[in-house]
Amino acid sequence: MSLDWNDLKVFLALERGRSARAAAVSLGTSHSTVLRRLQTLEHALGAQVFDRTPEGLLITGPGETLLHKAQQIEADFLEVEREVAGADVVLKGAVRLTAPPAVLKYLMLPILADFRAKYPEIEIEIVSTNRFTDLNKRDADIAVRFSEEPDDYLVGRRLPPFHDAIFCARGTADPQGMGWIGWTNTVRFQERIATTPFSNAPVDWTIPDLELQAQAAREGLGMALLPCVMGDRDDRLQRVVPHFTQPTLTAWLLQHPDLRRLERVRIFAEFVFAAISKQSRFVAGIG
């Protein structure tokens, strides 16, 4: 059996994540695939590179032997991508991005700053809207969207799962007696809160803007179901139930197929995808 070189990606993700499930998140796959590929890798090498424990996967002696070389190979692949991409085009021009404002504000702006530092000749135009027609009309090159499925003819990559949590003002004495700060589309909002511990709490406020909902929560007007990226690093908010989260609609990084051949769009998409993937625990509200 010939070694599947992609299994080294799995190995590296496992070494970093220390568990099959963490590796799966960072690779954008499932933990069962990760475990299967680990078995395949160990079979191909004729050596066991991780011990399985209830706490997770622990690297073995042969695994340590492999790790150094695997890191070198990964660096080589990154260099391949830089060298070959760079051999063809000088990256400059504009990339137009559209994403929900909260994702932009609480997650992506530092990522975009890093990107600009790395590629100073690429301009990023943020078109902060939330409509699919952006890509169809070429109004945007890259879109972050939340939906069950992207449009069939858009090229979509599933981002790591985003989660919402229930937040209220920091220091609230009895957070469990609060009412909801919710959306005007009450049917949809009722569906959302039906799976929370407070499905029967009253909806005291209906506010048609997420940022305003967050502000209302900060002011102590009630509890709001907010993205973890929005609430977890806000020292004026706290979770009502510390370990409760629930998934949002699936997050996609989308682009129009015609634009895939634009190098700077591709580089940008890869960069953003990798950066968000690295923060998969944060966007899922873990830790």
Partner DNA sequence: CGGATGCGGTCCATTAATGGACCACAGTAT
Partner DNA sequence: ATACTGTGGTCCATTAATGGACCGCATCCG
DSSP code of 29? S
> Is 36 among the residues that bind a copy of itself (CB under 8 A)?
no
> Is 156 among the residues that bind DNA (CB under 7 A)?
no
Q: Choose the contact partner of 37 out of a copy of itself, DNA, none; CB within 5 to 8 A by kind.
A: DNA
For DNA, the binding residues in 209-228 under the rule CB under 7 A are: none
Q: Which amino acid is at 41?
A: L
Q: Token pair for residue 139?
A: 């109004």
Helices (H), 119-262: 133-136, 186-194, 210-218, 228-231
Q: Choose the contact partner of 35 out of a copy of itself, DNA, none; CB within 5 to 8 A by kind.
A: DNA
Q: Choose the contact partner of 126 out of a copy of itself, DNA, none; CB within 5 to 8 A by kind.
A: none
Q: Between helices 20-27 and 263-278, what is the axis angle to 10°?
A: 160
Member of 189, 244, 271, 273 binding DNA (CB under 7 A): 244
Member of 45, 47, 48, 56 binding DNA (CB under 7 A): 56
Report the alpha-carbon distance of residue 225 to residue 133 in Å, rounded. 27
The interface mask with a copy of itself, positions 141-160, x = CB under 8 A, is ----------------x---
Q: Which of 124, 241 has the CB closer to DNA?
A: 241
Report the alpha-carbon distance of residue 46 to residue 60 in Å, rounded. 13
Is the CB of residue 154 less than 8 Å from the CB of residue 256? yes
Residues in contact with a copy of itself, counted by CB under 8 A, come to a total of: 41
> Is 152 among the residues that bind DNA (CB under 7 A)?
no
Q: Token pair for residue 185?
A: 């589309």
Residue with tokens 């990226």: 229
> Is 19 among the residues that bind DNA (CB under 7 A)?
yes
> Is 36 among the residues that bind DNA (CB under 7 A)?
yes
For a copy of itself, the binding residues in 44-83 under the rule CB under 8 A are: 44-49, 61-62, 65-66, 69-70, 72-73, 76-77, 79-81, 83
Report the alpha-carbon distance of residue 102 to residue 167 in Å, rounded. 15
Residue 91 Ramachandran class (φ > 0 left, ψ -120 to 50 alpha, else beta):
beta
List contacts with DNA (CB under 7 A).
19-22, 28-33, 35-37, 52-57, 148, 243-244, 286
